[in-house]
Amino acid sequence: MCGGSGPADLAKFDGWVERRLLNPASAMFREGALLLREEPSIADPTSYAATLSALSAGNHRRSEIASALGRPSGALAHLLSGLQDIGLIEQVDDALREKRALFRVAEPIVRFHQLIVQRHEPELVVRRAAQVWAANADTVSGKIYGPHFEDLSREWCFEHAAAETLGGVAAAVRPTRIPCREHRQGHELDIVVTETNPFAADRITAIGEAKSTITPVSLAELQRLEHLRGLLPSAKVVALPKILLFSRAGFTADLAHTAARRSDVELVDLGRLYGGS
Listed in order, the ranges of the chain carrying CATH 1.10.10.10 are 10-135
pLDDT tens readout for residues 45-56: 888 888 988 998
DSSP 8-state code for residue 175: E
DSSP 8-state code for residue 96: S
162-275 carries CATH number 3.30.420: no
Looking at residue 211, its pLDDT comes to: 96
What does the mean pLDDT of the chain come to? 91
Count of C-beta atoms within a 10 Å radius of residue 234: 6
Contact 242, 166 (CB under 8 A): yes
Query: CATH says 10-135 is which class?
Result: mainly alpha
Looking at residue 195, its pLDDT comes to: 96
Query: What's the CA gap between 245 and 211, in Å, rounded?
Result: 8
Listed in order, the ranges of the chain carrying CATH 3.40.1350 are 162-275
Query: What's the CA gap between 16 and 21, in Å, rounded?
Result: 8
Return the SS3 of 156: helix
Looking at residue 186, its pLDDT comes to: 87
pLDDT tens readout for residues 86-124: 888 999 988 998 778 889 888 888 889 888 998 999 999
User: For 177-183, what is the mean pLDDT?
Assistant: 88
Query: What's the CA gap between 262 and 199, in Å, rounded?
Result: 31
Contact 135, 256 (CB under 8 A): no
pLDDT tens readout for residues 9-44: 999 999 999 999 999 988 888 877 777 777 777 777
Query: What's the CA gap between 67 and 255, in Å, rounded?
Result: 39
User: For 151-157, what is the mean pLDDT?
Assistant: 96
Altogether, the residues listed in the chain come to a count of 277
Residues 6 or more apart whose CB falls under 8 angstroms from that of 197 comprise 203
Looking at residue 28, its pLDDT comes to: 84
Task: Count Cα atoms within 13 angstroms, Cβ side, for 238.
Answer: 12
